[in-house]
Structure 1
Amino acid sequence: RREVEGHGATSRGDVMLVSFDLSSRTRSCIIILIASVFVCILSFQGRGNAGWGTERLGAPVTSRCGRVSTPGLRRCPNLPFRRTMDRLRRDVKVNSAAEINAITEKSLEALKANAPESMGSMMSILEEFMHEYAHTNILAETPAAKYAEVMGQSMQVMGQALSQPHKFEILHRAIRQPFDYYRWGVDFFRPLIEQDTSMLYGVSNLEKVVNYIEKGDNVVILSNHQTEVDPQAIEILLEDQGCDLASELIFVAGHKVTTDPLAIPFSLGQNLLCIHSKKYIEKPPEKKAEKQAHNTRTMKKMQELLEEGSAFLWVAPSGGRDRPDPESREFVVAPFDERSVQMFKLMANKANRNSGKDTHFFPMAMLTHELVPPPDGVQAQVGEKRSAKRGAAMIWFGEEVKDERVEGVADRQRHAIFYENVMKQVLEKYDELAKERKNQLEKLKVEAS
């Protein structure tokens, strides 16, 4: 057991615990600030409750899963201690920033002291990521105490991932005990998401999803994919919407999130069906047969889930993350693999024949690339550089796409129509999200100037 000077980081075997203490000045400032804000809140007046947009941007909705906004807060009246409050806020921000940076440095020192030498390259990537993550938390005004708590947990689970990487089963269920990896992952990435500009649309369609799952039917979300943080972004927006279905999602996940030591801790908190993406199945060529056999076992497990019912699956039929256009540098939705979409439909039909369980397909459009942007190129190996930007997360639940038999229409044509309807919704909704985000950024520029 070894004590790391300054912040009591202890190492016992492969488990590392890190704890932090706030300065007395920060504690005093926080106490005074909380008391002042409490007095201020007593004089606020509330606005009426309003729902979030559903069918179009800005449209109100009343839904069991719809968000009920908290009463709006008006500007604090001109109380005698107003200037004191402003000064205290500035002091707390400056002091919190210094403490967050200090916590980050001490945490990384403790982690590097215990990490295997073979993980040197991963440590360099993690170090760069965590410095940017600290800056993001400063921008998000994360309290130093909360940051210390999350960092203490993070150094423990990341240290374990670097020294003893977890081996994932074909179907991995989120680990919630004795340590809750799901809640830790959500708390870790929440500061990256701007609350004021992040939005969840199509709430009426989300209500349909909830009803189907509760009835015992299956739901498959066909979505574009932009960042490693997509699962947490979905979960955070659903939780903020008042929907507790987020933790039941099963993500069809490629090999990177289950083999990259820096991604593994976050993957432990998700329900995953582990596959090898078609993009990488021939890299290296000698592993192709092994990967195909693995995917066959995964499809069999997925079939079992569909026949059991109440399966809530999320899949990116493109086989990977969207990338920016080389010329415009704007992100574009990667085309879905039509054969993959058809495969899910065939599995759904088989489940219905075998067990009577219906499966419903919903398109989803996601704009999340600002948070942890992917590299420009597509690479098969693990260990890519990561950044931790703060930005908007926008998600749209589209209308259900049904596969209905029409007299005189051949199966091949019917499959093509289904695929086109899915792609049409995703592309149209993504374009609307991109326009909305562009308008937000332009408005922020005007306000800043």
Structure 2
Amino acid sequence: MSDEQRPKVLIIGGGFGGLFCARRLGRLDVDVTLLDRAACHVFQPLLYQCATGTLSIGQISRPLREELMHHRNVQTLLGEAIKVDPDARVVTARRPDESKFDLHYDYLVLAAGMRQSYFGNEEFAAWAPGMKTLDDALSIRRRVFAAFEIAETLPPGPERDQWLTFIVTGGGPTGVELAGQIRELATRSLANEFHSIEPEEARVLLFDGGDRVLKTFAPALSERATRVLDDLGVEMHFGVHVSDVRRDGVTVKTKGDGSSKDYPARTVLWTAGVEAVPFARHAAEVLGADTDRSGRITVNADLSVPGHRDTFVIGDLAGRDGLPGVAENAMQGGWHVAACIRRDLAQRRRKDFRYRDLGSAAYISRGHAVLQAGPVKLSGAVGWLGWGFIHIAFLTGVRNRFSTVGTWMATIARANRSDRSFILGGSGHPEEPYTWESPVHQGSRASDS
């Protein structure tokens, strides 16, 4: 079949789902275009390690071009999908300079992922960055380390206390990991580096609307995680939600009696929820697809959109049978869609997607993690080793995984944190002010997974 006659497959998003789909399609007689707004694959489960100075950007990301260079039928493009015309089979994308271009397809794979949700309070994003992209991780790194530096310049008192108070919203894996890492950072890595402040006195407050952390894990593992966080000094508050976020703190409302309390703090990190990116909501509308409250698109058993056999949804966006928003789901979905296209080309019937739960894990602090894989439940040092296998050795999409795993594990095992550099601006140009804050970019919370 000539190149002009070969089916064109367009994949939106270079996270786990998009990358693994493109890889598998690299073996087929099709032309594949992978469109991503950042042109790199990010290992999202380790973003918090980058944010807290343990790992560098290069250790948790890789250019998509490098990742797919040996697949000659796969083209990677930088751009953000903004519009789809399912009748003409055309997606319009926007370049970073605001100009636009069109991409034609025979098959469309939506793997654009989710972004941080502020539940309608978008103004919170200015003071409470999420944890979905490399930009988010670097913003959090700047805020966390700058907070200690600014506190060092202040005399004892309420203002210094605000800078040494860190608030984390959401008690899921990301919230638990961030809270634990900040306390570990304060009590270990930074403990002996300052003269005016005692970093170990920094407060980390975690707020969650439920009755425990890690609600998707077994109660025993959740209880173990709670004990470890408590031993680290994390202050946990349950049955509450953050009703307001400001430059100098938050307001927290109790779900039971509706009472409110203000907490002064200069660093607030948001991990409380996710929602579909704008393009996914647009695509669902023009495709006539049903969505849930978060914007996940209802799909058929083969992950195609009802009424559109040429369009698939994978990863976090796929709304079917309670599929979890984890990397394994995206990877397996990517493989499955590639298999569906292969079966179409061979004029064979597609198979239904069957998700295989290969386990979940959460890293709390050095030597402490919890892991749940079917009947297997691990915690402590054994859980930490299991976390290293599940979240790195198995899930990573980069090549040379064993050498990479060795580097990562050795780096994470160290007490010091070598990747603590952060940028505050200071070029003197008005558009680059010298500040610990970061501008809120439209779409900067969009996920690449």
TM-score band w.r.t. shorter chain: under 0.3
Which has more strand, going by share of residues?
Answer: 2
TM (normalized to structure 1)?
0.24
Which has more helix, going by share of residues?
Answer: 1
Q: Which structure has the bigger radius of gyration?
A: 1
Relative contact order higher in (CA < 8 Å, ≥ 6 apart): 2
